[in-house]
Amino acid sequence: MPQYPLSLSFKIVVFNPQVKVTDAAGSLVLYVKQKALALKESVKIYADEAQTTELFAIKANKVIDFSAQYNITTPNGRQIGTVRRQGLRSIWKATYEILDASGNQIGLIHEENAWIKVLDSIVSEIPFAGMFINPAYLVELRGNTVLYLKKQPAFFEGKFNLEQRGPIASAEEESLLLNSIIMMLLLERSRG
């Protein structure tokens, strides 16, 4: 399991969105690359920046849709879980369900404060104004908050800090949570 807090850095001006996840010691934990211009969202998660060791893939179950679900699999195709946006509810406050491989809801990602999302969408087009709007997300596992994600001020990249707030039972559940957070951030960034 990685050493928290984790730092998630998004390159802002790239054709294919990319994310670097590093641990508290600065070591690379995950490298994420999203396929650009795909009808169905497709994301690959690697162990290294050279993209030689694929760890996970995330794919939408249908063409881009407001309430699509995103299946998270290992390179050999074994499903570890799914993350699903809560359609209309996410207009006001970003809310995502996390389901295990059997389809049971085990977790939830939701914004801590819906008004921050509204303010962020209003000022996102004003240069540098977004530096002062820092949304935060709570990640729950079986009703308990286990992770806390907060946007950090940054000029030339998107930065988030991920803190552990509670115990996570297994490495597989932690992988499911991290992949779900990454997909949620990619979706929220594309929405503005």
pLDDT per residue over 81-127, tens digit each? 999 987 655 555 788 999 999 999 999 999 987 655 555 655 555 55
Q: 40-77 pLDDT, tens per residue? A: 678 999 999 999 999 999 998 876 666 679 999 999 99
Cis amide prior to 75 (ω within 30 degrees):
no
Fold for 6-191, please state it: Porin (2.40.160)
24-28, Cβ contacts within 8 angstroms, sequence gap of 24 or more: 27/3
Task: Please report, for the chain, the start and end positions of each structural domain, with discontinuous segments joined by +.
Answer: 6-191
Cα 178 versus chain centre, distance: 7
